[in-house]
Structure 1
Amino acid sequence: MPQMDSLPAFSPPQGALPTLEKLGTTAPENVDALKVASTWLSSFEKHLSSVDVEGVLSLFVQATYSSLTADNDPSALSFYWRDILAFTWDIRTFEGTAVVRQFLTDRLEQTKASNLQLKLGPDGKAFVIYQQLYPDLAWVQLMFTFETDVGLASGIVRLVPTPGNATGDIEWKAHSVFTNLEDLKGFPEKLGLLRKAEPQHGRWVEERERERLFLDKDPTVLVIGGGQSGLEIAARLKFLELPTLIVEKNNRIGDNWRNRYEALCLHDLVWYDHMPYIPFPSTWPVYTPAKKFANWMESYADVLELNVWTSSKVSNAKQDPDTQLWHVTVQKEDGTERLFKVKHLIFAIGYKGGKPNMPKYPGMDEFKGQIIHSTQHNKATDHLGKKIFVIGSGASAHDISVDYVNHGIDVTMFQRSPTFVMTVKNGSRLFFGSLYSENGLPTDVADRIFASYAMGFNIGMVNRLLKYVAHEDKDILDGLRSRGFKMDEGLKGAGPLLNVWLTGGGFYLDVGGSQYIIDGKIKLKNDALIESFTETGIKFDDGSEMEADVVVCATGLGNVIEGVREICGNVVAEGCTLSGITKEGEPRGIWRELPFKGLWYMMGNLGYCRFHSKHLALQIKAIEENVIGERYSLQE
Structure 2
Amino acid sequence: MEELTASWTRPGSVADGDHVGIWLADFEEALRAGDGANLASLFADECHWRDLLAFTWNISPHEGTAAIVNCLLAVQPTIQAQNFRVATNRTPPREVKRAGVSVIEAIFEFETTLGRAHGVVRLLAAQPDKAWVLMTSLDELKGREEPINERRPGGSAYSRNFGGENWADRRAKEQAFDDREPSVLIIGAGQAGLSVAARLRRMGVDALVVDKLAKVGDVWRERYHSLALHNQVALNHMAYMPFPPSWPKYLPKDMLGNWMETYAWAMEINVWTGTTFVEGRYDEAVGHWNAQIRRADGSERVLHPRHVVFANGVVGAPKKAKAPGLEDFKGEILHTHGYTEGSRWRGKNALVLGAGTSGHDIAQDLCESGANVKLIQRGSITVASVDAAGINHGLYYNEGLPLEDCDLIAASGTYPLLVRGYKMNVKKMQEIDKDLLAGLEARGMKLDFGEDGTGHQMKLRRRFGGYYLNCGASDLIINGQIGLLQYEDFERFVADGALMKDGRVEKADLLVTATGYQNQQEVVREILGEEIAGKVGPIWGLDADGELANMFKPTAQKGLWFIGGGFAHARIYSHYMALQITAREAGLIA
TM-score range, shorter chain: over 0.9
State how many pairs are aligned. 580
Displacement of 1:415 after TM fit?
1.1
SS at match of 1:413: strand
Cα distance in 2 for partners of 1:251, 1:147 equals 44
Cα distance in 2 for partners of 1:626, 1:384 equals 61
1:320-339 matches, within 5 Å, as 320-339=283-302
SS at match of 1:436: helix
Q: Percent identity?
A: 35
Displacement of 1:161 after TM fit?
4.5
Question: Quick one: structure 1 residues 452 and 542, their matched pair in 2 at CA, closer, same or farther if it must change by over 3 Å?
Answer: farther
* Larger deviation, residues 360-369 vs 177-186: 360-369
Aligned to 1:364: 326
AA matched with 2:89? G
Aligned to 2:29: 46
AA matched with 1:139? V
Unmatched segments (≥5 aa) in structure 1: 8-26, 63-77, 163-169, 630-636
Contact 1:83 1:179 in 2 (8 A): yes
Cα distance in 1 for partners of 2:30, 2:246 equals 49
Aligned to 2:95: 130
Indicate whether 1:108 and 2:76 are aligned: yes
1:256-267 matches, within 5 Å, as 256-267=219-230
* Larger deviation, residues 253-262 vs 439-448: 439-448
Write out the 4+ residue segments of structure 1 that deviate beyond 6 Å after TM superposition: none
Contact 1:392 1:553 in 2 (8 A): yes
Indicate whether 1:141 and 2:109 are aligned: no
Aligned to 1:293: 256
> Which structure features the higher share of strand residues?
2
Indicate whether 1:552 and 2:512 are aligned: yes
Cα distance in 1 for partners of 2:200, 2:275 equals 21
Aligned to 2:342: 380
Aligned to 1:195: 152
Contact 2:7 2:97 in 1 (8 A): no
SS at match of 2:452: helix
1:590 to 551, 558, 575: 551
Question: Quick one: structure 1 residues 31 and 511, their matched pair in 2 at CA, closer, same or farther if it must change by over 3 Å?
Answer: farther
AA matched with 2:302? L
Contact 2:61 2:414 in 1 (8 A): yes
Question: Quick one: structure 1 residues 341 and 368, their matched pair in 2 at CA, closer, same or farther if it must change by over 3 Å?
Answer: same
Cα distance in 2 for partners of 1:212, 1:133 equals 47
Indicate whether 1:282 and 2:245 are aligned: yes
1:177 to 134, 151, 158: 134
- Which string of whole-angstrom CA distances, capped at 9 and with x for unpartnered residues, describes residues 135-172 of structure 1? x631111111111221111111111145xxxxxxx553
Displacement of 1:221 after TM fit?
0.9
Cα distance in 2 for partners of 1:317, 1:195 equals 36
- Which string of whole-angstrom CA distances, capped at 9 and with x for unpartnered residues, describes residues 392-435 of structure 1? 2221111111111111110001111111111112331x335662
The TM-score normalised by the length of structure 1 is 0.87
Contact 1:45 1:116 in 2 (8 A): yes
Indicate whether 1:447 and 2:412 are aligned: no
Cα distance in 1 for partners of 2:306, 2:339 equals 38
SS at match of 2:488: coil
* Larger deviation, residues 538-547 vs 316-325: 538-547
Aligned to 2:281: 318
2:423 to 463, 466, 484: 463
Aligned to 1:348: 311
Displacement of 1:108 after TM fit?
3.1
1:485 to 438, 441, 445: 445
Aligned to 2:377: 415
SS at match of 1:491: coil
Contact 2:231 2:393 in 1 (8 A): no
SS at match of 2:290: strand
Displacement of 1:253 after TM fit?
0.8
Question: Quick one: structure 1 residues 250 and 196, their matched pair in 2 at CA, closer, same or farther if it must change by over 3 Å?
Answer: same
Cα distance in 2 for partners of 1:529, 1:276 equals 48
Cα distance in 2 for partners of 1:171, 1:318 equals 53
1:415-434 matches, within 5 Å, as 415-428=377-390, 430-431=391-392
Question: Quick one: structure 1 residues 31 and 483, their matched pair in 2 at CA, closer, same or farther if it must change by over 3 Å?
Answer: farther
Cα distance in 2 for partners of 1:625, 1:499 equals 38
AA matched with 2:149? G
Question: Quick one: structure 1 residues 584 and 321, their matched pair in 2 at CA, closer, same or farther if it must change by over 3 Å?
Answer: closer
Aligned to 1:524: 484
Cα distance in 2 for partners of 1:158, 1:523 equals 49
2:115 to 128, 132, 151: 151
AA matched with 1:90? N
Aligned to 1:615: 576
Cα distance in 2 for partners of 1:232, 1:371 equals 36
SS at match of 2:304: strand
AA matched with 2:253? A
AA matched with 2:333? I
SS at match of 1:514: helix
Cα distance in 2 for partners of 1:85, 1:210 equals 35
Unmatched segments (≥5 aa) in structure 2: none
Contact 1:131 1:139 in 2 (8 A): yes
AA matched with 2:396? L
Displacement of 1:252 after TM fit?
0.7
1:489-568 matches, within 5 Å, as 489-526=449-486, 528-540=488-500, 545-568=505-528
Displacement of 1:524 after TM fit?
0.5
AA matched with 1:221? V
Cα distance in 1 for partners of 2:394, 2:275 equals 42
Cα distance in 2 for partners of 1:121, 1:479 equals 48
SS at match of 2:303: strand
AA matched with 1:148? T
Indicate whether 1:400 and 2:362 are aligned: yes
Displacement of 1:532 after TM fit?
2.6
Cα distance in 2 for partners of 1:238, 1:57 equals 41
Contact 1:416 1:529 in 2 (8 A): no
Displacement of 1:186 after TM fit?
1.2
Indicate whether 1:602 and 2:559 are aligned: no
The TM-score normalised by the length of structure 2 is 0.94
Question: Quick one: structure 1 residues 323 and 387, their matched pair in 2 at CA, closer, same or farther if it must change by over 3 Å?
Answer: same
